[in-house]
Amino acid sequence: MSGDWLVRIGKPAERPVLRLLCLPHAGGGPSLFRSWANALPPGVELVAAQLPGRDRRLAETPCRDSDTIIKGIVRAALALPSVPLALYGHSLGAALALDLAVSLTQAKVPLALVTVAARAAPHLPPRRAPLSPLADHAFLQAVGAMGGTPREALEHEELMALLLPVLRADFFLSEGFVRPPAPAIKCPLLAVTGCNDPFVAEADMRAWSLFAANRFRFETLEAGHFFAQSHRDDILRLIFEETGCTSFPVRSALCQEAS
């Protein structure tokens, strides 16, 4: 569907009213959101970005140029039937979601919502030294310490030989992504963070408000940094509240102090 940049997850809706487009964290692919398809209400379709070097594009060279990625996803999105689109980006995906929202708006694609998760606003200085320049062993150790890559994968030499170029390209993209604060997102903007995220402070996430030209909402979850799977239902509930799908019945894990 729509070239290699987007893949549909789950069945297409008969009468779609909303399409949710997900962008994964560094090293991730569409499979990160596979379980999300089981929790969608009728009328909501799910697609995910598939970047070179992973999943069905495993044989391709990972991409280090965000413009190429955005152009590819926009072309794929324009090839789909016109339905209001909601974006969800996690960590690196949140950075890409900003540029993608701008490009989709310029292309007259109707955007219902942009959700950014687990990523400091892109005008803020980094809180740690970049990992991408490190030698292979040190780089993999540092990535493993972040907790998003299973230990079994890190200890599998052949698998790591395949994943290392992807991880390096993604961290290069993420660590080099800087944008000046400007009200660039014309639709509502939702920022979601984990109360226990060791890499992103609450103030870093609240600063996304500077990129909102419309409604801005901030929420925290009882989670760390990698919560796209563990807190799927809470993320979807927030997204559907903001897009009008308010009948999504899930248990909430929102922090009580969130606002």
Among 21-30, 67-76, 158-167, 216-225, whose mean pLDDT is lowest? 158-167
DSSP code per residue over 1-22: --SSSEEE-SPPPSS-SEEEEE
Side-chain half-sphere CA neighbours of 71 within 13 A: 5
How far CA 139 is from CA of 76, 98, 155, 165, in Å, comes to 33, 27, 14, 11
Q: Residue 246's pLDDT band (boundaries 50, 70, 90)?
A: low
Do residues 237 and 252 lie in contact, with contact meaning Cβ atoms separated by under 8 Å?
Answer: yes
What is the average per-residue pLDDT within 198-222? Answer: 97
Annotated catalytic residue 91: yes
The span from the CA of 56 to the CA of 154, in Å, is: 21
Give residue 251's pLDDT: 39
Among the listed residues 66, 132, 174, 225, the single catalytic one is 225
Spacing of C-alpha 80 from chain mean position: 20
- The SS3 assignment for 69 reads helix
Residue ranges of domains in the chain: 6-128+181-243
The phi-psi region of residue 204 (left if phi > 0; otherwise alpha if psi is between -120 and 50; otherwise beta) is alpha
**CB of 125 within 8 A of CB of 178?**
no
What pLDDT is stored for residue 14 in this prediction? 85
pLDDT in tens, 40-81: 988 999 999 999 998 889 889 999 999 999 999 999 999 999
Question: Which of 25, 66, 90, 91 is flagged as catalytic?
Answer: 91
Q: Identify which has the larger pLDDT, 32 or 147.
A: 32
What residues are paired with 114 via a beta bridge?
A: 87, 189
**Percent of the chain beyond pLDDT 70?**
91
Q: Kindly report the length of the chain.
A: 259
Under the banding of pLDDT at 50, 70 and 90, the label for residue 21 is very high
Q: What tokens appear for 169 in the block?
A: 């390209």
Two tokens, residue 32: 């990160």
Assigned architecture for domain 6-128+181-243: 3-Layer(aba) Sandwich (3.40)
Question: CA-based angle 77:81:85, to the nearest 5?
Answer: 55
* 141 or 19, higher pLDDT: 19
Determine the average pLDDT of the residues in 17-28: 96
